[in-house]
């Protein structure tokens, strides 16, 4: 299937930007982390401040396990309601052709 040139160009540009940022790009910290760092200065004065998570799921392979289970459940569920959400394919079924 022939794709328009601009689509291919966009994909190449996107991959190029990702490679550039990955290899030569700066650290790029999250703005949320920067804001939390500034807010913590004030929060400490009122007896608050960043704490470790109440429920820490980052223990060995626990996250991997949870994501595998979550991915499987989500995949089956999306498959189950696929036609409701995205409709039926318009292309005719090859088997039904004479």
Partner 1 sequence: MHIAEGMLPGPYALAYWVGAGTFVAVGAKSLANKSQEIPMMKQLVGVMTAGIFLVSLLPIPVPMTGTCSHPGGTPLGAILLGPAITVLMSLVALLFQALFFSHGGLTTLGANTLTMGVFGGFIGWTLFWGLRRFKINLFWAGFMAGFIGDLAIYVGTSTQLALAIHGTHPFREVFQAILIVFIPTQWPIAVLEGIFTGLVLKYIADHRPDILIMLHILPASEGVKNVSLENTLI
Residues that bind partner 1 (CB under 8 A): 21, 25-32, 34-36, 38-40, 42-43, 45-58, 63, 66-67, 74, 77-78, 81, 83-85, 87-88, 90
Compute the least distance from the CB of residue 63 to partner 1, in Å: 6
Q: Is 16 within 8 Å of 2 (Cβ atoms)?
A: no
Backbone angles phi, psi at 46, to 5 degrees: -105, 20
Q: Is the Cβ–Cβ distance between 72 and 80 less than 8 Å?
A: no
Angle at 43 between CA 37 and CA 48, to 5 degrees: 115
- For residue 17, the minimal CB distance to partner 1 (Å) is 9
Of 22 and 98, nearer to partner 1 (C-beta) is 22
Answer yes or no: are the C-beta atoms of 57 and 63 closer than 8 Å: yes
- How far apart are CB 93 and partner 1 at their closest, in Å? 14
Residue closer to partner 1 (CB basis): 58 or 61? 58
């Amino acid at each position: 299937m022939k794709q328009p040139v601009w689509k291919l160009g966009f994909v190449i540009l996107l991959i190029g930007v990702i490679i550039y940022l990955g290899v030569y790009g700066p650290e790029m910290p999250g703005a949320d982390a920067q804001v939390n760092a500034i807010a913590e200065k004030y929060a400490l004065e009122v007896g608050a401040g960043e704490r470790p998570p109440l429920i820490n799921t980052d223990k060995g392979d626990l996250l991997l396990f949870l994501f595998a289970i979550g991915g499987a459940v989500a995949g089956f569920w999306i498959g189950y309601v696929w036609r409701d959400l995205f409709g039926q394919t318009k292309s005719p079924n090859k088997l039904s052709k004479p």
